[in-house]
Amino acid sequence: MSNYFHKPRKLSDGTRQRIQQAVDALGFVPNDAARTLRTGVSPVIGYIAFELAGATTPEIAAAIEQRVSAEGMYMLMANDTGSEQRERSYLQLFAKQLVSGVIIAPVGNVEAELARMRSFGIASVLSARRAESPEQASVSIDHVAGGKLAAAHLIEQGSKRIGFVSSSLELKQVADRLNGALSAVHSAPGVTLEVIPVPERSVEAGIACADAIARRPAAQRPDALFCANDLLAIGVVQAFVSSKVVSVPADIAVVGYDDIEFARSTIVPLTTIRTPHAELGTAVADLLFAEIDALGSAGGRDGVVLPRPQIEFSPELVVRASTVPQ
């Protein structure tokens, strides 16, 4: 009866019906473990993302899922909750399960592990972070350019004293934004940049930060704030609006980062840096399929690995009322 599944065209109608009945009657369920064992491939793609709750992850995941399902495959997500150890153990789980490919937006450095997995046939794409090794495919966002865009826009609007509001500069994505902003500031004479640290990247941290700034003497306040993400920016704007001491954007202009759904529907719509999530997800999925093919055809033949694509998306500036008076 094995032909029923993999070579249906070779079966006569009679036999097909006979088997069909048996399948229905017995409630037969094919065993994927056996199939994977025999064929060495599984129809699933693994996606590991930290910060599931983040506003960007779901959109990316949906885009990947769409491409993956169009290919007749499945995407299974694992969310390490920011734990590097958990992240690794999920990578190993996927490796043991012989998934067809892995997409990972990592917390820690996983390139060595990915290289090892590649050596026995599991393709991977690094997402949201540029790979250090040329053999590792990646799709990332140019956050330096994003930071530069934001700062340049503020400078263009006449800001002279810019505050960069952020937590943990250890996260590369955030450090890049600062570096981009700094480069824009450096090429603009007379403009200064102050780093204003906050405990976390949340609305509440933004509110607290804005309150602190509002309490400064007016002369010591920055005239613009570039927040490391939209949550912070939303908190900042809200606090300023409520306090009535500082007006946005007249006294202080505010730029966020990410263009989350809320950004456009806050009380003062937020100028922000849009990172193309859906496009990124689609690109990641496409690249992964390319990697799977490459590994399947060339990978086995020799030890030489060609440099793999490292795609980088450029974010764009979205101007709204928080920097430009209406």
Partner DNA sequence: TCGCGGCGGTGAATCGTTTCAATTCGAGGG
Partner DNA sequence: CCCTCGAATTGAAACGATTCACCGCCGCGA
- Contact residues toward a copy of itself (CB under 8 A) are 27, 29-34, 36-37, 42-44, 52-53, 58-59, 61-62, 65-66, 69, 74-79, 81, 86, 89-90, 93, 95-98, 116, 119-120, 202-204, 207, 235, 238, 241-242, 261-262, 264-267
User: For residue 163, what are the contacts with CB-CB under 8 A and spacing of at least 6?
Assistant: 193, 194, 195, 196, 213, 222, 224, 225, 226
Minimum distance, C-beta of residue 97 to a copy of itself, in the bound complex (Å)? 5
Q: Name residue, tokens 């995407």.
A: 75
Among 24, 25, 26, 30, binds DNA (CB under 7 A): 30
Q: How many residues bind DNA (CB under 7 A)?
A: 19
Minimum distance, C-beta of residue 46 to DNA, in the bound complex (Å)? 19
Q: Judged by CB under 7 A, does residue 192 bind DNA?
A: no
Q: Judged by CB under 7 A, does residue 2 bind DNA?
A: yes
Count of CB atoms situated within 10 Å of the CB of 320: 20
Nearest Cα residue to 288 out of 303, 312, 309, 314: 309
Applying the rule CB under 7 A, the residues between 39 and 68 that interact with DNA are 39
Minimum distance, C-beta of residue 40 to a copy of itself, in the bound complex (Å)? 9
CA distances, 19 to each of 9, 11, 32, 52, 190 (Å): 14, 10, 19, 44, 81
For the chain, counts of helices (H) and of strands (E): 11, 12
305 binds, among a copy of itself, DNA, none (CB under 5 to 8 A by kind): none
Applying the rule CB under 7 A, the residues between 85 and 144 that interact with DNA are none
- The token pair at 254 is 């505010």
265 binds, among a copy of itself, DNA, none (CB under 5 to 8 A by kind): a copy of itself
Q: Judged by CB under 7 A, does residue 3 bind DNA?
A: yes
Among 25, 26, 34, 304, binds DNA (CB under 7 A): 34
Contact in structure between 64 and 281 (CB atoms under 8 Å): yes
Contact in structure between 255 and 323 (CB atoms under 8 Å): yes
What is the distance in angstroms between the CA of the first residue and the CA of the last residue of the chain? 72
Half-sphere exposure of 174 (CA within 13 A, CB side): 19
Q: Judged by CB under 7 A, does residue 6 bind DNA?
A: yes
User: For residue 69, what are the contacts with CB-CB under 8 A and spacing of at least 6?
Assistant: 75
Minimum distance, C-beta of residue 116 to DNA, in the bound complex (Å)? 15
CB under 7 A: which stretch of 6-14, 102-110, 213-221, 228-236 binds DNA? 6-14
53 binds, among a copy of itself, DNA, none (CB under 5 to 8 A by kind): a copy of itself
Cα 60 to Cα 258: distance, rounded to the nearest angstrom: 12
Nearest Cα residue to 83 out of 51, 115, 129: 51
Q: 78 forms bridges with which residues in the sheet?
A: 48
69 binds, among a copy of itself, DNA, none (CB under 5 to 8 A by kind): a copy of itself
Among 24, 25, 38, 297, binds DNA (CB under 7 A): 38
The bridge status of strand 161-166 relative to strand 316-318 is unpaired
CB under 7 A: which stretch of 36-44, 49-57, 70-78, 138-146 binds DNA? 36-44
14 binds, among a copy of itself, DNA, none (CB under 5 to 8 A by kind): DNA
CB under 7 A: which stretch of 25-33, 52-60, 72-80, 283-291 binds DNA? 25-33
* Backbone torsions φ then ψ of 54, nearest 5 degrees: -55, 155
Q: Judged by CB under 7 A, does residue 5 bind DNA?
A: yes
Nearest Cα residue to 247 out of 208, 218, 209: 218
Instruction: Catalog residues that contact DNA under the rule CB under 7 A.
Output: 1-3, 5-6, 10-12, 14-15, 28-31, 34-35, 37-39
